[in-house]
Chain A
Amino acid sequence: MNDKYTAQAATTEAAIEKGLKALGINKEDAIIEVVQESKKGFIGIGQKDAIVVVKKTNTKDAVEELLSKEVMLGEEESTTIKPSEKQEEKGILEDEADTETDKEMRETGNETNETVEDKKASNVKDASETVETEKAEDTNNVSQEKKELFNEQDEAAVQKVSEYLKTVATKMGVEDVTINVKRDYNRVKFSIETKDAGLIIGRHGKVLNSLQTLAQIQMHQEADNKLYAKVDAENYRDRRKKTVEQLATRTAEKVQRTKRPVILEPMPAHERKQIHRYLNRFSGVQTHSEGKDPHRYLVVEPSKEEDFTL
């Protein structure tokens, strides 16, 4: 891996940005040395590009790198890396909604259950509570439909996608890859097990999401029934979800306290959605998104109704 990169661009900021991107690291992990400041010049005369040297300070794991962003956002140390609990595993499948179709499916499936749950506990803060009831409901539902859904073509498709992920991962230069397949109704989860999970996940889960997109497409091409593919590595989805929820809780509390809107960092659609869903249960705050993808960001603001209870 390269640890040093010399970048040249019209402005110093752009050059730094370029250098960081080339190394795939955050600003905090880099030593930035400005070799030459940029000069605007006049109508292109006397114009000079900025040259910066970006050096890597420490070779952090990609996973840690992802988390460092949350620490920044949360303004306090976050204890995001927790050993995954078995019970929570279901939760990934519930909330990891990337595709629109996925959303439809879940809504039709779980809506009734969720509304009941919502009434029961009006100000739910603990996500595990809903997860648990959903789980119970899931197993009931599934037992009826599961049988007819398991057919040979589907099985073959799952097998094929699993092979596909494995070969792609191997060709990416990741060694000793094993894929664990877990099927729950029409959701299929592929967990990529390897030592080099950082490579598979990528910055902010970019590679992981890409693999998921590709897996999803193959799945639709091959399978008889509509199956939904989830791709995970090292429980990244689970961890990420917890991080996002923590961030959401903190932001909501801040908004409740200060009664001022808070703007969050830009994040991908499914994470915004997680926050929207999660904060829906909080009284006193409302959420919406602004801006254009990929820089669309979420705004948490106090609700219009002033009669909220804290």
Chain B
Amino acid sequence: MTDTEMRELIRTIVEPLVSHPEDVKLDLKDTDDFHEYLLSVHPDDVGRVIGKRGRIAKAIRSIVYSIQFDGPKRVRLTIVD
């Protein structure tokens, strides 16, 4: 899977969950070991993407990490607040 496809996937997962889909931002930080996606949402929506005890965040991550990403680096998803 390529970068654009990955971005699309994350957006498709996250956008319906939040009440301000227009404020969903996705940045890519490439480090030596990871393709790190920095997900930021509207302040009111942070709870919605993290969930009780990180349940939703965990679910999103396990879907994202289950994807075979192009290249040797692994994907990482960070929620910024």
Give residues in A with beta carbon < 8 Å to B. Answer: 1-2, 22, 24, 160, 164, 167-168, 171-173, 199, 202-203, 206-207, 209-211, 213-214, 217-218, 221
Residues on A with beta carbons closer than 8 Å to the beta carbon of B28: none
B60 at the interface (CB under 8 A from A): yes
6 contacts between A and B (CB under 8 A): A2-B68, A173-B1, A210-B59, A217-B56, A218-B16, A218-B17
Give the shortest distance, in Å, between A31 (CB) and chain B (any CB): 19
When distances are taken between beta carbons in the complex, the residues of chain A under 8 Å from B74 are: 22
Known: A22-B74, A173-B1. A168 touches B56 (CB 8 A): no
Q: Is the CB of A172 within 8 A of B9?
A: yes
Could you count the A-B residue pairs with CB atoms below 8 Å apart for me: how many are there? 56
- Say which size band chain B's interface belongs to: 20 to 34
* B62 contacts A202, C-beta separation under 8 Å: yes
Task: Tell me, in angstroms, the Cα distance from A209 to B63 when the chains sit together.
Answer: 10
Question: B58 an interface residue at 8 Å Cβ cutoff?
Answer: yes
Assembled-state Cα–Cα distance A209/B61 (Å): 12
CB nearest neighbor in A for B55: A213
Evaluate contact between B51 and A217: CB separation under 8 angstroms: yes
**Interface residues of chain A: helix, strand, loop or mixed (majority):** helix
Q: Is the CB of B60 within 8 A of A214?
A: yes
Residue among A22, A160, A171, A210 making CB contact with B12, cutoff 8 Å: A171
With A22-B74, A172-B9, A172-B67 given, name 16 new contacts (CB 8 A): A1-B68, A24-B66, A160-B16, A164-B16, A167-B12, A168-B13, A171-B9, A172-B66, A199-B66, A202-B62, A206-B62, A206-B66, A209-B59, A213-B58, A214-B13, A218-B16
- Give chain B interface residues in 21-77, CB to chain A under 8 Å: 51, 55-56, 58-60, 62-63, 66-68, 74
Contact of A207 (CB < 8 Å), options: B1, B9, B51, B63: B63
Hey, which chain B residues are within 8 Å of A217, CB to CB?
A: 17, 51, 56
Residues from chain A with a CB closer than 8 A to the CB of B5 are 171, 173
Q: Across the interface, do A172 and B63 meet the contact criterion of CB distance under 8 Å?
A: yes
